[in-house]
Structure 1
Amino acid sequence: MEMRQLKYFVVLAEELHFHRAAARLSISQPPLSSAIKHMEAELDTLLFERNTKTVALTAAGRALYPQAVRTLAQFDLACTVARRTGSGVLGQLRVGYTGGMLLRGAPQMVREFESVLPGVEVSLCEMASAAQADAIAHRQLSGGFLHAMVVPPELDFITLQREPFVCCLHASHPLASRRRISLRQLAGEPWIIFPRHISPSYFDAVIALTTAAGFSPQIRHEVTHWVSAVMLVAQKSGVAVVPQAFAMSRLGDVRYLAIQETASQSLAHFVWRKDDDDPVLQRFTRHVRDWKPAIRVRSATTGRSSAG
């Protein structure tokens, strides 16, 4: 049975007049009569009692009518959902983020996107950068706000921020009153750092900085969140190197100093799969790009980077 036939039945059941029902359907009367006869033959029961003067629903017709109305309404809803999803105004996204992205506008981007498209829901999932890249590649996340010096080739990205690392010291540290230091001055301090398997880019960046300063850090504490690193510094548990954005966080009694060894920078990206054709995700990536001018965008078609 076709939806067209079901619609014909509902209209005739409401009009109980073939001529008026046909006019309402913008068809001639013969196709309507033929459709009803085919329905009755398929169901092996009469739906209408009709003669030259009247048309009336049979018991079977009366039983079918409310079910047919609900079926047509559900079908219309399904079509609407499909159209809105296909146009990117309805759907869901699961987006990863690192703690540092809370200081770079990720929640604001999501909130503004949802305010423009109330039919879209974006769920944020805190996850380390390396884990995000893997989850995106395996379609467990739609995209992610993460830190990385190198983005895997199967992923596209928008670079949101490029900023230097700064040294994070407790306010009572003898060097905390300075504006700039060499990391060589912290060679004997206990260091707080991300393990490499959690954030390869951050670990490599810190090691590059300390190597440039001529020493290997004495790693005392390992963390999985930027906030944890800062709060450990606030508890006088060691020193850390963090992205400059944390200077605005006002977390704990700490000070942030510029680093003389500036070979490494922190790169913040929004990342997604090159082959993801989800219209909602495509809208979201445009929103992210427009929300803050991108530093660098890699083309999904060429794989090359260009100024954004």
Structure 2
Amino acid sequence: MVVYRQPLDLRRLQQFLAVADAAGFTRAAQELHLSQQALSSSIARLEAEMGVALFDRTTRQVQLTKAGRALHDGAGVLLAAAEHLVRQARDAPAQSLRPFVIGHTPAVTPAEVHSLIEPVLAALPELPITVIQMYPGSFHQALLEGRIDAALRRGVAVPQDLAAATIAYTPARIAVRASHRLAARRSISVSDLRGERIIVWGPPGASFYTDFILSTCRRAGFEPTITVNRVQGTPPASAVLDNEGIAFVTDPPGPTMDHQAIVIDLAEPPLVPVQMLWLPNTVSAARDLLVTQSQGR
């Protein structure tokens, strides 16, 4: 027997989020321009429809119950997916297509991004694509707000309320200043970096790329000396321009940064993943192409 359940009211879900984030009905009602009584009645109706209590009202401050916390964890993504669907419906009759917007971290080079989107350019020639460099910490909110459609980063862990797939692996190389003692080498091994200062872009434990580099060096039999780059957001190879350090990069081998730095191949190079993040429960032909072309790679 099929049991009919009334679909979740998105307006009430939005009101629930407002109460939860404000930790009270008074402030939430003011933000929503509703009377406190109307807001309280709406939340009570939501609780009745779901068959669970969402707030513990026995304390001075309104607190989420276990059911409320579970709903809160997924509510933002669900509302964002609904807004995404509305945008798609509104854009459907338009003469010009809405751009597919990709955010990427500085660790994923523009050349890598272009290589990844080539199948999309070929399959969807009329679709405009916008590529934006962003810091990884801003991806989550940008996806929820619809400012980007996909995000590219170095990583493998899947965020709790986002969808993810590893769509490429790029060989790691190293960059050194043109005057560095290793600059004339065509290829080196990771073990040759023992005793060198390695420049990273985030502290251990806070950056997947840094942890990846540390793990690569440890597998080669040494504990690396690392320094966090004082300049953020510039091309990775730029980290060695004013020092004698080493930077792990994914640029092609040879001169770079106006010949001020040299990129050198690593023997048996470690492969650095490129992970794509997106909003679950959404549809995108361009995003699907990025995933399927990675499966055939």
Superposition TM-score tier, normalisation by shorter sequence? 0.5 to 0.7
Aligned partner letter, 2:279: R
- The residue matched to 1:204 in structure 2 has which SS? helix
Aligned partner letter, 1:268: V
- 5+ residue gaps, structure 1: 1-80, 296-306
Describe how 1:1-308 pairs up with structure 2 within 5 A: 82=89, 85=92, 90-99=97-106, 100-106=108-114, 109=117, 112=121, 116-117=125-126, 122-133=129-140, 135-136=142-143, 139-152=146-159, 154-196=161-203, 200-222=207-229, 223-225=231-233, 227=235, 229-243=236-250, 245-247=251-253, 250-251=256-257, 252-260=259-267, 262=269, 264-277=270-283, 282-289=284-291, 293-295=293-295
Tell me by how many angstroms 1:249 deviates: 7.8
Aligned partner letter, 1:283: A
> Structure 1-normalised TM-score?
0.53
Hey, what does 1:5 align to over in structure 2?
none
Q: Aligned partners of 1:88, 1:237: CA distance in 2, in Å?
A: 54
Q: Aligned partners of 1:177, 1:237: CA distance in 2, in Å?
A: 14
Kept after mapping to 1: 8 A contact 2:254/2:264: no
Mark the structure with the bigger radius of gyration. Answer: 1
Q: Aligned partners of 1:198, 1:124: CA distance in 2, in Å?
A: 28
| 1:276–1:82 CA distance, 2 compared to 1 (3 A) | closer
- 5+ residue gaps, structure 2: 1-87
Kept after mapping to 1: 8 A contact 2:124/2:286: no
Kept after mapping to 1: 8 A contact 2:177/2:261: yes
**CA-to-partner distance for each residue in 1:62-117, whole Å, 9 max, x for gaps?**
xxxxxxxxxxxxxxxxxxx9575279974354431223341114398399389833
- The residue matched to 1:104 in structure 2 has which SS? helix
Tell me by how many angstroms 1:128 deviates: 2.5
Aligned partner letter, 2:274: A
Q: Aligned partners of 1:249, 1:135: CA distance in 2, in Å?
A: 35
Corresponding pairs, count: 206
Tell me by how many angstroms 1:198 deviates: 10
- The residue matched to 1:192 in structure 2 has which SS? strand
Tell me by how many angstroms 1:240 deviates: 0.9
Hey, what does 1:51 align to over in structure 2?
none
Aligned partner letter, 2:201: F
Q: Aligned partners of 2:254, 2:161: CA distance in 1, in Å?
A: 34
Kept after mapping to 1: 8 A contact 2:200/2:210: yes
**Stretch deviating more after TM superposition (142-151 or 84-93):** 84-93
Tell me by how many angstroms 1:138 deviates: 6.3
**CA-to-partner distance for each residue in 1:221-276, whole Å, 9 max, x for gaps?**
4243461x312323344211112x443783333333333575x4211233212222
Aligned partner letter, 1:165: A
| 1:200–1:139 CA distance, 2 compared to 1 (3 A) | farther
| 1:159–1:91 CA distance, 2 compared to 1 (3 A) | same
**Stretch deviating more after TM superposition (162-171 or 179-188):** 179-188
| 1:141–1:105 CA distance, 2 compared to 1 (3 A) | closer
**CA-to-partner distance for each residue in 1:199-240, whole Å, 9 max, x for gaps?**
72211111101222333333334243461x312323344211
Q: Aligned partners of 1:189, 1:173: CA distance in 2, in Å?
A: 11
Kept after mapping to 2: 8 A contact 1:114/1:121: no
Root-mean-square deviation (CA, aligned residues, Å) is: 3.9
| 1:155–1:86 CA distance, 2 compared to 1 (3 A) | farther
Identity over aligned pairs, percent: 19
| 1:86–1:274 CA distance, 2 compared to 1 (3 A) | farther
| 1:131–1:90 CA distance, 2 compared to 1 (3 A) | same
